[in-house]
Amino acid sequence: MNRYPLWKYLMIAVVLLIGIIYSVPNFFPSEPAVQLSPKLEQAIDPATMQRFEQVLQAKGLTVRASENDGQQALFRFADTDVQLKASEALKEAVGDQFVVALNLAPSTPGWLRSLNANPMFLGLDLRGGVHFLMEVDMNAALDKQIERYEDEFRDFLRDKDIKYLGISREGDTVLTKFRDAASRDAALAVLSPEYGDKLQFTSPQGTTDLQASISQVAMLNIQKFALQQNITTLRKRVNELGVAEPVIQQQGANRIVVQLPGVQDTARAKEILGATATLEFRLVDEENDPFQAQQSGRAPIGSQVYKERTGDPILLKRKVMLTGDYITDASSGFDENNRPAVHITLDGKGASRFAKVTGENVQKLMAVVFIENKIESKEVDGKQVKTSKTTQEVINVARIQEQLSKRFQITGLDSPKEARDLALLLRAGALAAPVYIVEERTVGPSMGKENIEKGFNSNLWGFIAVVLFMIVYYRMFGIISSIALAINGIFLFALLSMLQATLTLPGLAGIALTLGMAIDANVLINERIREELREGATPQQAIFSGYDRAWGTILDSNLTTLIAGIALFLLGSGPIKGFAVVLCLGILTSMFSAVTVSRAMVNLMYGSKPRLEKIAI
């Protein structure tokens, strides 16, 4: 009656063994480490490792252990102070060649790592770091697209040899003026097939103008693209910062969550993440006087007034020769006169385009425009209002001596730091739209450690209290229930580790809740067995009926909780998702341990005794 077939005992034993193997790595402490990865596709050879070690030795820093798999080098240290000093020393030594990242390296034995048994990740609230909630300026994304259409219309109509009086932006539309209706209709005939799926063309009554406005579908696509492009760019910038295991994800329609574990320099992180610096290359208008244009407030047709870093005005052509979008690599350094410089590499399309325009304009002046978007906060009617401000300044003017192509350098930067920052931003790519920080939280390493200790202790004391109660109240069946509860914890930790889930403070609360739910199932079973005994059933019949009849109630209660957990995971965000993951996995492990595992132990103890007269419950 109360016996399992051999295969079921073997299955439980195998599952338990796997659970122990994959949960054990979580009990090995993590060590402060510095991780180095090459920016280019190159292997780290023994000579490079020796160079790293010499840098650390020169600074008097002791390395506990080092590893090199050819793609990454890892150095372990005794504490975070030595780790930070080592990071600074290596960054100074390797320059732009390697990404230097702070990390926490698990001290898991090699044989466990060979089985891919790794500890679960720790969230920001347990490990320490910085959390940003960033909002994308969707209006700026639309403005940028409208300006792009304005420039494209000029080139497109010029290529089609269609005459127009002028193209300008009117609010959220692009207005093109023509001399007559025939020119307008000819323009509409060529523009509609090209832009018909993105723009709506109308002609104001009584005019020969053509007005183009962005369709609702295209507007949503622009906003969606801006959000996704910004997420991609932020990921690249975080990689340049050297942060291990960052979290960058969308939240809502226009917000991005950025979590940087281990980062304590929030000012530097904000400076790099929020910056929207990029470059434009334009020809200088040498035929007109920039001072006269500045005084009159009107620039000649086809030109625009900019300012140099000295404050003097300069006239540049409206047509952009090249933008930062074509840049594939940028590194900081110095020119032949030892001035800060950025060495730039273009992609194939950018190289051919730049070669063409520079080849056609040899001996003409070319300007490099540094464009930066900053978010300013000011108080309006008692509320903080954030506005986006774009600054454009000419950092370099040089005469084109020869045709330029894939590689070149720019100078005119104020300091090596500005050169390094600009190179970083150019490598990562420009943001599609400005972002500003609406929420910021910093968790120190000591606070994260304290959260782990408090969470662990609360779960431990809760477990001990439950075990004592179960043993006192249910005696032998209480001991069996307690063992099943411990096995449930092993299964839960193993699953979280195998899935490489991130454990957060709410996740620790989910573990405590899981322990309570798991023991609740055993309480139902034990009470049902007691009830069967009171009604006169034999001990063997009581055990069989207790497990059999309690199963339906346990299944129903756990399924309803599982549905709630799935809803939390699908609809929640951040900490709520972490709690939901632990809750859902805990429900699955508790149903297995509380019913199948505990019954296997009961069957082993009492199943072979057909004339059982009494049980301790």
Higher pLDDT, 75 or 271: 75
**Average of per-residue pLDDT values in the chain:** 85
3-state class percentages of the chain: helix first, strand second, coil last, to nearest 5: 50, 25, 25
Residue 230 confidence (pLDDT): 86
Instruction: Give yes or no for residue 377 having a pLDDT over 60.
Output: no
* Domain definitions of the chain by residue range: 6-25+444-606, 29-107, 138-218, 276-416
| Residues pairing with 74 in the sheet | 35, 67
CA-closest candidate to residue 151, choices 318, 298, 315: 318
Which range of 69-78, 203-212, 401-410, 483-492 scores highest in mean pLDDT? It is: 483-492
Give pLDDT tens digits for 117-168: 988 888 778 877 888 888 888 888 888 888 888 888 888 898 888 888 888 8
Give pLDDT tens digits for 526-554: 999 999 999 888 888 999 999 999 998 99
For Cα atoms 161, 165, 168, give the angle at the middle one, nearest 5 degrees.
105
Residue 176 confidence (pLDDT): 92
How far CA 432 is from CA of 15, 153, 158, 189, 438, in Å, comes to 49, 21, 27, 31, 18
**Hey, which CATH number is domain 29-107, 3.40.50.720, 3.40.1280.10, 3.40.630.30, 3.30.70.260?**
3.30.70.260
Any idea how long the chain is? 617
CATH of domain 6-25+444-606: 1.20.1640.10
User: Residue 69, exposed/middle/buried by CB under 10 A (0-12, 13-18, 19+)?
Assistant: exposed
Listed in sequence order, the residues at least 6 apart from 336 whose beta carbon sits closer than 8 Å to its beta carbon are none
Mean pLDDT of 87-114: 81
Q: Which residue has the tokens 């690599």?
A: 329
Residue 235 confidence (pLDDT): 84
Please name the fold of domain 138-218.
Alpha-Beta Plaits (3.30.70)
Which tokens hold the place of 493? Answer: 């930790």
CA dihedral 435, 570, 246, 438 (to 10 degrees): 30
Residue 528 confidence (pLDDT): 92
Same CATH topology for 29-107 and 138-218? yes
CA-closest candidate to residue 522, choices 462, 583, 476: 476
Beta strand pairing status for 303-308 and 383-399?
parallel
Mean pLDDT of 579-602: 91
Residue 439 confidence (pLDDT): 85
Confidence of residue 240 (pLDDT cuts 50, 70, 90): low
Question: What's the rounded Cα separation, in Å, for the pair 318 and 540?
Answer: 91
Instruction: Give yes or no for residue 476 having a pLDDT over 80.
Output: yes
Confidence of residue 383 (pLDDT cuts 50, 70, 90): low
Q: Is the dihedral of CA 492, 496, 497, 503 positive or negative?
A: negative
Residue 100 confidence (pLDDT): 81
Residue 95 confidence (pLDDT): 65
CATH of domain 276-416: 3.30.1360.200
